Amino acid sequence: MQTTLVIFKPDCVLRGLVGEILARFEKRGLKIVAIKKMKLSTELLTEHYGHLKDKPFFPGIVAAMQRTPVIVLALRGVNAAEVARKMAGATNARDAEVGTIRGDLAVSIQNNLVHISDSPESAEIEVKRFFTAEELVDPADEELGVLYSKDELN
Ligand code: ADP
């Protein structure tokens, strides 16, 4: 079982797509273990997007992520990091497969609606970056029991 980080970016908030995208995760069976609205500081964004800080478009990303407050979620499930990442589609929404969030709802490389941790290792770091342990509330066994076989949960 993994917990992964999702951010509904300002373009998602501004376009009123939070509910639609949240519904996709809920219908798929990823369980919300934390959700909150927050303003992202330049310091937090510089840490979060550290791998891009020398790119010419980095100031543009920071500005785009600070246009509005964002909605941050932690989602839990078996292989949740990979499942959620596949649901997002390619970074450049124009290349994203139809059926993915970006492939259905976006056309931009920058304004691609969601951030999703790119691996189980990143997910672990990123969930801790945005949430305290007290904010994470695991689903009840019954919620998982309708989604998975007993073997998958062991
Ligand atoms: P992902 O969000 O798919 O994990 P990256 O970590 O490579 O992708 O990039 C982080 C974010 O930076 C992207 O989601 C996108 O908003 C923005 N970004 C990436 N590449 C570019 C680019 N060439 N021009 C503008 N913005 C970009």
> 2-146: which CATH topology?
Alpha-Beta Plaits (3.30.70)
Res. 25: pLDDT tops 90: yes
Answer yes or no: is pLDDT of 154 > 90. no
- Ligand 1 pocket test: which of 62, 91, 111, 122 has the largest number of ligand atoms within 8 Å of its C-beta? 91
Biggest CA–CA distance in the chain, Å, is 49
Asked whether the beta carbons of 148 and 79 are under 8 A apart, the reply is no
- What does pTM read for this prediction? 0.97
CB neighbour list of residue 123: distance below 8 Å, 6 or more residues apart:
2, 3, 4, 5, 80, 81, 117
User: How does pLDDT run across 68-108, given as a tens digit for each residue?
Assistant: 999 999 999 999 999 999 999 999 999 999 999 999 999 99
Q: Give the type of residue at 81.
A: A
Q: How far apart are CA 105 and CA 98, in angstroms?
A: 9
- Distance, CA 4 to ligand 1 centroid (Å)? 18
Give the whole-angstrom CA distance, residue 101 versus residue 112. Answer: 9
Domain spans of the chain? 2-146
Ligand 1 — pocket residues by CB below 6 A?
A: 49, 52, 57, 60-61, 91, 109-110, 112, 115, 118
Of 70, 81, 115, 123, which one is the catalytic site residue?
Answer: 115
Taking alpha carbons only, the member of 4, 12, 3, 1 closest to residue 114 is 12
**What is the Å distance from ligand 1's center to 68 Cα?**
18
Q: Which two tokens stand for residue 76?
A: 């839990």
Q: Would you state the structure tokens that stand for residue 92, as one six-digit string?
A: 């450049």
Q: What is the mean pLDDT of the chain?
A: 97
Report how far ligand 1's centroid is from the alpha carbon of 28 (Å). Answer: 25
- Residue 115 known to be catalytic: yes
pLDDT tens digit sequence for 107-130? 999 999 999 999 999 999 999 999
Which of these, 70, 54, 62, lies nearest to 130 by C-alpha position? 70
For the record, the structure tokens of 42 come out as 């330049």
pLDDT at res. 118: 97
Q: What is the pLDDT of residue 34?
A: 98
Query: Which sign, positive or negative, has the C-alpha torsion 141, 146, 147, 153?
Result: positive
Tell me: pLDDT of 38 over 90: yes
- What percent of the chain is modeled with pLDDT above 70? 100
Mean pLDDT of 12-18: 98
